[in-house]
Each structure stands twice: as structure tokens, then as C-alpha cells.
Amino acid sequence: MDDGFVRRVDATVRSTLGDDFGLWVRCESQWLSWPGWKPIADEVGLDSVRVVELLAAAARRLAPTSLVSAPDRHVLAVPFTQGDALVVAVASLATEELPERLASSLQQGLALSLQLDESRLVVEESAQQISEDLEQVMYLQTLGAHLQLCEVSRSALDVARDVLPVLRDLIRAESLILVTPADKCDATRSTGCPGPDAEDGLSLAFRVGRQEIDADACRALVRRFRSAAQRQPVVRNRLRGEIDGGAPAGLNSFLLTQVAKDDLHVGWLLALNRTPDPDREKLHADYPAWGLSDEEFGTVESGLVLAAASMLATHARNVHLFHEKEGLLIGVLRSLINAMDAKDSYTCGHSDRVALIARRIGEEIGLTREECNTLYVSGLLHDIGKIGVADAVLLKPGNLTPEEYAHIQQHPERGHTILKHLDQLAQVLPGVLHHHERYDGRGYPRGLQGAAIPLAARILAVADSYDAMSSCRPYRKAMPEAKVEAILKEGAGAQWDPQVIEAFFRILPEIRGICGSAEIHTQAILTATLPNTMREGLMNDSLSAALSMTPSP
């Protein structure tokens, strides 16, 4: 018998009759008084009425039953039922109080009160479910937005640190773990391998929540169920040692799904032990059956974990593809630079030095890191058009004829033509095309003047001229340092931007050090400084145009 139901009957009757009544509860074939739970004796009476007979009559009819106990008194028995429970309230009332009508009102009042309470609980449960559904929808929207905004510089492990704590709270898991293969370091990390907890090819790369289940038990779960998790999420609830070899101590439920995209396998997401919801504990105390599913991982939780796994795998795949394309772009750039250096041994290393000098000048005048990196790549490629210059002109030891000079003056436009098909290199084109413009407007190929010349081209012009004058060429030896500096100062405001010349001379000792370096490791520097805008373009742009282009002679 549910004490809560008896207490509800007691409160309902008391609100109408005061304290002048008794409650009797039928337990199997016996009647017990409440409170106290004492058996009723057959001879007990109430105003000369045999109560046991009155209780039996009310139980048979399941309707209010009254007997006259005196000319002005009635004894009333009112049955109350809920499921198999039967409680009878017995009271002695005056005849003018219309005992049967009063009894009916009491029954209806209790029934309405119970219905109201049940409706209230249903509303609360529905409101709680709607709130959870809204949180789940918002989380899925956040995952979608996160995938769009994630930078390829972030590893899957970095993203997991952002999205898994929220997911753990949403599915109410005691612990949520990203498990990765020990031989797939690059799938989750930008650099480095799994930590010292790696064992038998598995590493607990990231864990959020309580750590009641140790690392060895987690790895054993993954090894046991990873094959099944390749097809669909594996869910086990209410574990009582059903797992082969017995469930680990403290493990009541778990959910496992694979994190993979196409042929790239990142690992597994493992959720351990569904925890109770404090907001629903009262609801489930009154209606225990409602709480059964709330203690288990189900389809909703599987769907959310699967969505997070898909997002992590997709990001890891994007990063993998990006690095492949980034390596291809760097290889193309390096090949172009090597081809140019091989064509003119006198200028070998010239582009490397111009790139470093230009970047250092950009830093000095306050350009952003992104702008300085763009300057660096522009410097590497500024003379790429010389690939199309005839060797007889490029390597001629004497003075050039007007026709030959006009031919070599085409190299900025040739370089622009070679690179313009690579959309991700669009930012370097102004420097490549205009690095031979003069500040006074007498340069080539467009005759731009002053601020109309792109800033990158004005910086490259200074860096290019300094290194050219300081290096040996087929037609002359390297100029003395003093003469080079005098020419630059004299040409400020005419051939070169005076502000760039001022910045150049402020850092001249560093520039001398750059030019004096025995070897410059362009490949490593290029990899580290490739501008982000070029990196982002790699995800959408094809390199086939650059690979198939052959510049005209």
C-alpha cells in the first residue's frame, strides 16, 4: 500500500470533516486502521453500528454507504480507490448534512486532485523534455557553425576540447573520452604523439568528467566493441557483468561510436555511465516508471554523440587534405624558385635574400604579421618572370642593346602571367608586377608614381636594388657597400619611396647580416610563413593551372 495515497485521502477528508473520522485500509482480506496499522475487531462499533459490516458493504459497492445509528445521526463509509488500493473513511454525521452527497463530493474532490497532480507532473516532464530538445538542437547548430569556422591550423584534438565538455553535460555522461590509435598522431594533434597512457595501440587523447573507470578498463571496452562500433553506435545499459569477462567495477552503462571520415580513422568516442537529472528526481519519485529511460543511454544520446564524432572526423579530414594541398603549393613555389636559380647562377639566392630583407622592412614600418608574410612570398617570386627571358639576354656579360633591355623589362608581366592562375597567390601579384616601378613615375611596366605604387612593390624595389647592387652579376662585380648606400640615399624620393629608405637604413646592420648568411633555408621558412589567406584558399582552389603552365620564351 502506498502511504502517499493514504495521506492524500486523509488530507482530503480532513479538509471537509475536520478531525472527526477514521480511516481503514484493506490489506488482502484484513482491515487495518490508519495511522497505526492495527487490525479492526469484529465487535468494534461506532454509535451502535458494526463498522466491519459497513466497511465490507462500502468495499463491495465501491460507493458511499450510510447506516442510521440514531434518530439524528448517520454513520457514513466513503471508499477511495487508486489502482488496487482501497481506503475507506468512516464518520458519524448529522442527517441534515446530507451524508451521501457529501461523500460523493469528497470522492470527486480527491479524484480531481489526483488528476491535477498527474497533469502537473506531465506538464513538468514535457517542459523538461522541450528544454532538453532545444538544448540538443542548439548544440547541433553549434557543431555546424563550429565546423564552418574551424581553422585548419587547429587539430581535431583542439576542437574536441571545445565541443566534448558541452556534449558530456547534454547527454549527462559521467565521463566522455576521445580514444585514438597510438599510430595516428597526426589525426588529432598538430605535432607530437599520444601521451604515456598509450597502450596496445590505444591512447586516451582527451577525457572530460569523472574518472571512476580507469584507463585500462576504457581501452579494454574499446578493443572489445570497436568492430561493432564501425557499423553503428554501441549502447549497453544496466550492466550486471554481462560483458565478456565481466563489466569493470562502477560501470553501469556506456556508449561507443567510431570517429572516421572516408579513409581517415581518428578514433572513438566513449561515454560512460548515464547520470540522473536532479530536476527530474521528484517526478520519477512519484511516477517511478517514468524514470526508467532517463537512467539509460538511448537514441537521442547516440545521435548527439554520432553528430559530434562526424564533426570531429570531418574537421580532421579537412586538415589532412589541407596539409596535402599546402605541401603541393610549397613544392610548386620551391620548384619555380629552383628553376629560376638554375637558369641564372649569378642570382642564385637573390630571391631568398630579397624576401627576407623585404619582410624585415615591413616589420620595421609596422605592417601586420600577415602582411609581412605576404611580402616574404612576394620577394621569393618577384623575379619568377625571368624564366621566360632568353639566356643570351639574361646572362650577357656586356651592356644590353635597347631591344634586349626591352625584352628583359617584360619579366614583371611574365611573372604576373605565370602566377595569376593561382587564386591563393593573388596577394603577391602587385609586388611581382610593380617592383620595378619608380617613385617618380619613370619605372615599368605601368609607369605608376608615388602612393599609386602598391606598398609591397615599393618595399621590394628597395630590397631588390640593394641586393642586386651588392651582388656580382655577369656584366659587373658587386659594388662597394659605401657606394650602394650612397646610391640608395641619393635615389630616395626619385627612384625609391623615401619612407621605405628611412626604414631600410634604421635596420641596415640586420640587413647586412641577412645578406652575409652562408645559407638560407627557404623551404622551412616558406612553410612557416605561408600567409593564412593563402592557406584558406588552398581548400577550394586547384593548382592544376600552375602545374600545366609553360611560360613563353
Q: Which CATH class is domain 344-548?
A: mainly alpha
What would the pLDDT profile of 150-163 be if each residue is shown by its tens digit?
566 677 788 888 88
Q: What angle do CA 389, 392, 396 make, to 5 degrees?
A: 110
- Report phi then psi at 91, rounded to 5: -145, 155
CA 124 remoteness from chain centre: 32
- Stronger pLDDT, 469 or 102, i.e. the higher one: 469
Q: What angle do CA 415, 460, 371 make, to 5 degrees?
A: 95
Nearest to 510 by CA among 337, 381, 362, 346: 362
Q: Record the pTM.
A: 0.50
- Is it the case that residue 85 has pLDDT exceeding 90? no
Nearest to 338 by CA among 375, 373, 384, 376: 384
- Is it the case that residue 312 has pLDDT exceeding 80? yes
What pLDDT score does 514 carry? 81
What pLDDT score does 152 carry? 60
CATH code at 150-319: 3.30.450.40
Q: Which CATH class is domain 3-117?
A: alpha beta
pLDDT-derived band at 518, boundaries 50, 70, 90: very low
- Is it the case that residue 495 has pLDDT exceeding 80? yes
- Stronger pLDDT, 167 or 71, i.e. the higher one: 167
Strand-pairing partners, residue 274, are 173
What would the pLDDT profile of 9-43 be if each residue is shown by its tens digit?
888 888 777 777 888 888 877 888 888 778 876 54
What pLDDT score does 195 carry? 38
Q: For residues 69-80, give the mean pLDDT.
A: 76
Residues of the chain with CATH 1.10.3210.10: 344-548
Residues of the chain with CATH 3.30.450.40: 150-319
Q: For residues 221-244, give the mean pLDDT.
A: 85
What pLDDT score does 492 carry? 94
Residues 6+ apart with CB under 8 A from 159: 146, 150, 311, 312, 315
Grid cell digits, residue 213: 573507470
- Report phi then psi at 274, rounded to 5: -70, 125
What would the pLDDT profile of 371-399 be if each residue is shown by its tens digit?
998 999 899 888 888 888 777 777 777 77
Q: At what angle do helices 508-516 and 455-470 cross, to 10 degrees?
A: 60
Residue 467 and residue 354 in contact, taking contact as beta carbons nearer than 8 Å: yes
- Is it the case that residue 254 has pLDDT exceeding 80? yes
What pLDDT score does 46 carry? 53
pLDDT-derived band at 450, boundaries 50, 70, 90: very high
What pLDDT score does 241 carry? 67
